[in-house]
Amino acid sequence: LCGADELAVVSLPSYACQRHTPLLHHNTVLIDALSILAENAELSENEGRGVAFRRAGALLKSLPQEIRRVEQLRGQPCLGDHSLRVIKEVLEDGVCCEVETTKESRQFKAMKALTGIFGVGAKTADRWFREGIHTPSDLQRSGHNLNRAQRAGVQYYDDLNQPVRKAEADAIGLIVEKAVSEVLPGAKITLIGGFRRGKETGHDVDFLITHPEEGREEGLMAKVVSWLEAQGFLLYHKTTRNSYLESKDGPARPPSNMDRFERCFSIFRLTREESSMLSQCSGSRSWMAVRVDMVVSPYSQFAFALLGWTGSKLFERELRRWAVHERAMTLSSHTLYDSTKRQYLRANSEEEIFALLGLEYIPPCGRNA
């Protein structure tokens, strides 16, 4: 006879895109520990190691119950020796040495603080760290030449490191909606990213814009940005034009992980008037800086763009991995290519894409891997 703790959990499928990963789960302490190691690997540009810890964490997020003994995980996929060691230690001792050491390390703290600056990636942060720069203040004192994105990142550091709440995302949604309808009536916007997955906070707000008449969306981003700028909504923006060259029967180049939609990475100035819930503005300030990403897709690619930009990042990676390894297909935010049939597969909805991939449909709230 075995107690409730011993009850075997049914083995889950190994790809995150084959299972539901809810926002709220039962193993937060274990997942937090694995996330620290994942983050540290990513900041050290050890992508493979980062992915391994992320996959282990996502598996735990999918479990229907709290794990109390490591034996309960027997037969589960995605759990490598290292992850299992961490899980065992946390279950037995309450903490894992490696995780605690990592959290306290000067390098990890500095890398987090520096990559917390908009426009600063792991490479740059690492270079600065080795020069003795550990904080944004050190950076300002150093007199380093910063690019435009990084200058904005330093200037709005505090605001941009506050979580964005749903109410603020909705307020920005109304502004973007107004901008889009002013410059191109009939165009529609969709909230994507973490908020579409049901998150209550995020590090930014993401929107996908399209128009039901193919071609009408061309040049739309520049117009939207001009309108927003004229109205004083933009503190920073960088627009990248569409570089997707479609030939008669598909992309001229094979789709890569990085999509080529017209996009804008921006920082909005959100005022008290627009959002009645700006309690996080400090003191007398009546506005806050918020990171906003906007992407424009042609209508024919909308379903792929929606799937590709809803995330999570790990869920997207798992979808692409499933497509390649299990279906000999290449999935991007533009199309799905079937290598066996040597043709591009069209789809009008996310449901159709899952079906083409031979997967059960997972709604956005189940994609929080």
Kindly list the residues in this chain that would bind Mn ion in the complex (CB under 5 A).
193-194, 202-204, 206, 293
- Take residue 355 and report the two structure tokens written for it: 């079906």
Q: Smallest gap, in angstroms, from Cβ of residue 249 to ligand CTP?
A: 24
Q: Smallest gap, in angstroms, from Cβ of residue 62 to ligand CTP?
A: 17
- Take residue 104 and report the two structure tokens written for it: 């306290």
- Take residue 277 and report the two structure tokens written for it: 């819930």
Evaluate the CA torsion angle 275, 278, 282, 283 in order and state its sign. Answer: positive
Q: Smallest gap, in angstroms, from Cβ of residue 50 to Mn ion?
A: 14
Residues in 328-347 at the binding interface with ligand CTP, rule: CB under 6 A: 333
308 binds ligand CTP (CB under 6 A): yes
One residue of 50, 119, 153, 193 binding ligand CTP per CB under 6 A: 193
Residue 55 pairs in a beta bridge with none
Interface region with ligand CTP, contact rule CB under 6 A, candidates 33-41, 200-208, 236-244, 352-360: 200-208
Interface region with ligand CTP, contact rule CB under 6 A, candidates 82-90, 118-126, 182-190, 309-317: 309-317
One residue of 153, 173, 194, 298 binding ligand CTP per CB under 6 A: 194
Helices of type H across the chain: 28-43, 47-62, 81-93, 97-104, 106-115, 122-130, 136-142, 148-155, 157-160, 166-183, 193-196, 220-230, 302-310, 313-327, 350-356
| Residue 172: C-alpha distances to residues 168, 202, 256, 279, 297 (Å) | 6, 13, 30, 16, 20
State the Cα–Cα distance between residues 343 and 182, nearest whole angstrom. 38
Query: Hunting for tokens 């107690």 — which residue is that?
Result: 3
Residues in 204-223 at the binding interface with ligand CTP, rule: CB under 6 A: 204, 206
Residues in 258-297 at the binding interface with ligand CTP, rule: CB under 6 A: 259, 293
Active-site amino acid positions: 204, 206, 293
Strands 336-338 and 343-345: antiparallel
One residue of 106, 130, 248, 313 binding ligand CTP per CB under 6 A: 313
Query: CA torsion, points 85, 7, 77, 82, in degrees to nearest 10?
Result: 0
42 binds ligand CTP (CB under 6 A): no
One residue of 301, 312, 330, 335 binding ligand CTP per CB under 6 A: 312
Q: Smallest gap, in angstroms, from Cβ of residue 203 to ligand CTP?
A: 4
Give the residues lining the site for ligand CTP (CB under 6 A).
Answer: 193-194, 199, 202-204, 206, 259, 293, 308-309, 311-313, 316, 333
